[in-house]
Amino acid sequence: MLFDSINFIFFLVIIFILYWFVTNKKLRNQNLLLHIASYFFYSCWDWRFLFLLVFSTFLDYFTGIKMYESKSEKAKKIWFWISISVNLGFLGVFKYFNFFASSFADALSNVGFSINTWSINIILPVGISFYTFHGLSYVIDIYKNRIQPERNFVDYSVFVSFFPLLVAGPIERATHLLPQIKKERVFNYTMAVDGLRQILWGIFKKIVIADNCAELANLIFNDSSNFSGSTLLIGALFFTFQIYCDFSGYSDIALGTARLFGIDLLRNFAFPYFSRDIAEFWRRWHISLSTWFRDYLYIPLGGSKGGLWMKIRNTIIIFLVSGFWHGANWTFIAWGTLNALYFMPLLLLNKNRNNIEIVAKGKSLPSAKDFFSIIMTFGLTVFAWIFFRSNTMAQAFEIISEIFSKSLFSIPQFEMHYSRRSIITASLLIFFITIEWIGREKEYALAGFGLNWSRPLRWTFYAFLIFIIGLFMNTIETPFIYFQF
């Protein structure tokens, strides 16, 4: 059940009615409803993997209590490592087994040994990376005595599997979400309206911008050897917007949906393409994952406390793991490495916290310096996305060498149909970037957009957005990119 499908709208309306009109008398019943709805939502993808989700949830719930009740440090440690190894074990088998098996065989064949490897046909359970990280943060927090374990299984399960965040995040923290689940929820008009507004913007981003960009990016990347440098560059640009609008669109729908149920989820994106340097970009891109890595990997590794070399080492580790988290392919690792390299000069010059506030705060336009910095950062990001999108490293290098050749200055080649589509998509991108720029000081672009207008004018704008969605949405259904992670 995709967020942008009719089925999801029906599902959401039914759960909303049951939540606020049938189970609203008791918090316990509301949470039970969210629990059942979330499991139903998940089983719509593949009910077989529901067992894995239940097992993983129960494991962390159980080990959390056991750790807390352990009389000795040793027992606590044992329960901790049981949880960590089983969680990472599942992730390893489902996500990385074939990668390691084939990489091992390749390495041996390079030194003259030939072995018969076998790969298993594994279907990646949707959302496994997300709910595993949920569980891990919970277990680590208990181990570090930051929180106490949750005793109510239903409440804990809602924390792990709350349907808006279940399959692609944001990656929540027990300290943020669990208290909201435990607290009585009263319907909040402003919050619900804001939720609907965010859903509308998320849908626009996903099915108008991301899906239209996807059609063109796929066309170019799937046949990259037959395109000129200029066309490949356009393909990379389309992919750059596709991945942002796909994932941040999904996050907007998730956050907006949660708001309808009186729950605030962690913000996941903060206009990353308006960043003035890579450090700022990483504070604004997939925030819930970046902060997860910061809190559960970077800081435990020593963070920035152990001197410059420690800082460099830990930063490289974080980016490599981040790349690897996206999938078992060298292209993701290259993407992570590249971002680490971009980050290094800022780290060495101690300039990684130069740009904290959003660009041109309180102004209409950025300064020339800011504008130049945004373009530079955006360019570096586009370059890195080429690795992320390519199927192999060889393809990525082939694309880059073509882009940096004379053919960059040739007229892009498209069939008539696609050249029309690319012009339409480019126009939509201009509209989208303008709205994002105007709304950049708020949590999401539409959050404050037109709030001081009269209601008819504001509604006309929203209705106009719906009209654009109806006319420009891509009818080829493209699954959310981050479902595969």
Partner 1 sequence: MKMEKFLKSVFLFLLFSMVFYVSLLCLLGDNVLKKANLNFVYKVGSYGHMNTRLKEINDYENIDVLFLGSSHSYRGFDTRIFEKSNISSFNLGSSSQTPIQTEYLLNKYLDKLNPKVIVYEVYAGTFCFDGVESSVDLIANSKNDFETIKMAAKQNNITVYNTLLFGFYKQLLNSNDDFKEPIVKKEDTYIKGGFVQRKMEELNDTKSFPKTNKWQFNEKQFLAFQEILKLIKSKNIKLLLVQSPITSKLYNSYTNNNVFDVRINKFGNYYNFNKLMNLDDKKYFYDYDHLNQKGVELYNKEIIKVVQKNIVNYTNH
Q: Does 423 bind partner 1 (CB under 8 A)?
A: no
Residue 108 or residue 466: which is nearer to partner 1 going by CB?
466
Give the interface segment with partner 1, choosing from 58-66, 141-149, 396-404, 455-463 (CB under 8 A): 455-463
Q: Does 471 bind partner 1 (CB under 8 A)?
A: yes
Least separation in angstroms between CB 420 and partner 1: 7
Least separation in angstroms between CB 87 and partner 1: 37
Least separation in angstroms between CB 298 and partner 1: 42
Pick from 473, 480, 482, 484 the residue near partner 1 by CB under 8 A: 473
Active site residues: 326
Least separation in angstroms between CB 192 and partner 1: 5
Residue 180 or residue 474: which is nearer to partner 1 going by CB?
474
Between the alpha carbon of residue 164 and those of residues 205, 213, 251, 259, 291, the distances in Å are 17, 24, 9, 10, 20
Q: Which two tokens stand for residue 281?
A: 């970009």
The count of other CB atoms within 10 Å of the CB of residue 362 is 7
Pick from 22, 348, 394, 463 the residue near partner 1 by CB under 8 A: 463
18-45: b (≥16 Cβ within 10 Å) or e: bbbeebbeeeeebbbbbbebbbebbebb
Give the interface segment with partner 1, choosing from 139-147, 160-168, 271-279, 457-465 (CB under 8 A): 457-465
Binding residues for partner 1, how many (CB under 8 A)? 22
Residue 16 or residue 437: which is nearer to partner 1 going by CB?
16
Q: Which of residues 8-47 bind partner 1 (CB under 8 A)?
A: 20
Pick from 300, 466, 479, 484 the residue near partner 1 by CB under 8 A: 466
Residue 48 or residue 420: which is nearer to partner 1 going by CB?
420
Q: Does 6 bind partner 1 (CB under 8 A)?
A: yes
Q: Mark residues 183-202: x for contact with partner 1 by CB under 8 A, - for none.
A: ----xxx--xx--x------
Q: Does 475 bind partner 1 (CB under 8 A)?
A: yes
3-state secondary structure 395-411: HHHHHHHHHCCHHHHCC
Contact yes or no for 235/224 (Cβ under 8 A): yes
Between the alpha carbon of residue 231 and those of residues 38, 234, 290, 409, the distances in Å are 43, 5, 32, 10
Rounded Cα distance, 316 and 49, in Å: 34
Least separation in angstroms between CB 209 and partner 1: 15
Q: For residue 1, what are the contacts with CB-CB under 8 A and spacing of at least 6? A: 7, 8, 11, 41, 44, 45
Pick from 11, 58, 90, 462 the residue near partner 1 by CB under 8 A: 462
Rounded Cα distance, 123 and 376, in Å: 39
Alpha helices, H only, 261-295: 278-284, 287-293
Pick from 10, 451, 467, 484 the residue near partner 1 by CB under 8 A: 467
Rounded Cα distance, 25 and 21, in Å: 8
Residue 188 or residue 222: which is nearer to partner 1 going by CB?
188
Least separation in angstroms between CB 12 and partner 1: 12
Q: Does 416 bind partner 1 (CB under 8 A)?
A: no
Q: For residue 234, what are the contacts with CB-CB under 8 A and spacing of at least 6? A: 216, 220, 412, 422
Q: Dump the DSSP string for 310-326.
A: HHHHHHHHHHHHHHHHH
Least separation in angstroms between CB 42 and partner 1: 24
- What are the residues binding partner 1 (CB under 8 A)? 6, 20, 187-189, 192-193, 196, 420, 424, 459-460, 462-464, 466-467, 470-473, 475
